[in-house]
Amino acid sequence: MTPGLQDILDLEQIEVHVFRGRSRPTAATRTFGGEVASQALVAAGRTAPADRPVHSLHAYFLRPGDPGEPILYTVDAIRDGRTFTTRRVVAVQRGEPIFHLSASFAVVEEGFAHQRPQLDAPDPDDLPTAAQTLEHADERSRTWLTRISEAFPLELRFPDELPRFATVRGERRDPHQRLWLRSAQPLDDEPLIHACAATYASDLLLLSSALPPHGVVIDDPGVLLASLDHAVWFHAPFRADEWLLYDQEGTWAGGSRALCRGRFFDRHGTLVASVVQEGLVRVTPRPGSSGTPGSPGE
């Protein structure tokens, strides 16, 4: 049976500050970045006081992970203050660090409250399922979306036409895309698990939001995307096994890198988390081309 998110986030504790995680069986040649980030946050959270939920994480992807090998997570208890707790985690595989995370946990306090962005999307129950979306997609996009649906333990629904569909038709779109998502299986009630599940999902498709203006899609030959650094801020309690809207925008691209922003809203319109990621977006011109990628539908 394919493991769900709860299984992915269930780490083995080897020592007080050392944990071991395993990747899901996959045909991919490198471990999904969201998987490493979410497991590292589990390790950090297991050493933090239970009454201090995580409020932010900042991470760097150093080397590709091997999905066929276990990953060791070593936690450094940097600080335990009166209000804030800080943890640093290094993920190691075959004796080399592949990922570094700093996470901050804090006592819940009362204070000013507002949110500028507002939820403006159709309710997920009014949208077609991912399988129904496949019925209206081109053959190449059907193959891609089927692979996405099978590779990740998440249920997905799309409030708009995915920009990649337009790209395959030879059209260019703004660097923006949205998707409703939730864990495909129920999760435990522990708030840390839901924060880690959202961290897992936060790496899904985010870098691809920078591609629509440039006429390429994530699975084009010669297109290489890789997460470089990643940050998540958690604003309000939520459940990751209930629908969350993930609003993604590629705000800048240049120098073979892109900066993308994401916002998670719950179904009631509360902004529950914000994401920023910089990633490698490298395109190798096709042989005989002028250096500008052609239409991926060619």
Claim to verify: residue 139 and residue 60 sit in the same structural domain = no
pLDDT at 23: 77
Per annotation, catalytic residue among 23, 104, 202, 227: 227
Q: What is the CA radius of gyration of the chain?
A: 19
Would you say residue 290 has pLDDT above 90? no
pLDDT at 288: 52
Q: How far is 194 from 28, CA to CA, in rounded Å?
A: 25
118 is catalytic: no
pLDDT at 287: 54
When pLDDT is cut at 50, 70 and 90, the band that residue 297 belongs to is very low
- Give me the phi and psi of 33, to 5 degrees please: -60, -35
Claim to verify: residue 1 and residue 133 sit in the same structural domain = no
pLDDT at 28: 72
pLDDT at 295: 29
Report how many domains make up the chain: 2
First to last CA, the chain: 38
Per-residue pLDDT reduced to its tens digit, 107-116: 999 999 999 9
**Residues pairing with 227 in the sheet:** 279
pLDDT at 1: 56
Q: Is residue 115 part of a domain?
A: no
Per annotation, catalytic residue among 93, 177, 183, 277: 277
Per annotation, catalytic residue among 203, 241, 247, 266: 203
pLDDT at 240: 98
Overall average pLDDT of the 267-276 stretch: 98
Claim to verify: residue 195 and residue 298 sit in the same structural domain = yes
Domain span at residue 1 reads 1-109
Q: What is the pTM of this model?
A: 0.94
CA 75, chain centre distance (Å): 22
Claim to verify: residue 155 and residue 271 sit in the same structural domain = yes
227 is catalytic: yes
Per-residue pLDDT reduced to its tens digit, 126-176: 999 998 998 888 898 899 999 999 999 999 999 999 999 999 999 999 999
Which CATH number characterizes residue 132's domain?
2.40.160.210
Tokens (6 digits) for 146: 């089927």
Would you say residue 286 has pLDDT above 80? no
> Which residues are CB-contacts of 130 (< 8 A; sequence separation ≥ 6)?
145, 149, 155, 156, 157, 158
Q: Is residue 211 part of a domain?
A: yes
Residue that finishes a domain, picked among 46, 78, 109 = 109
Strands annotated E in 115-220 = 154-157, 176-183
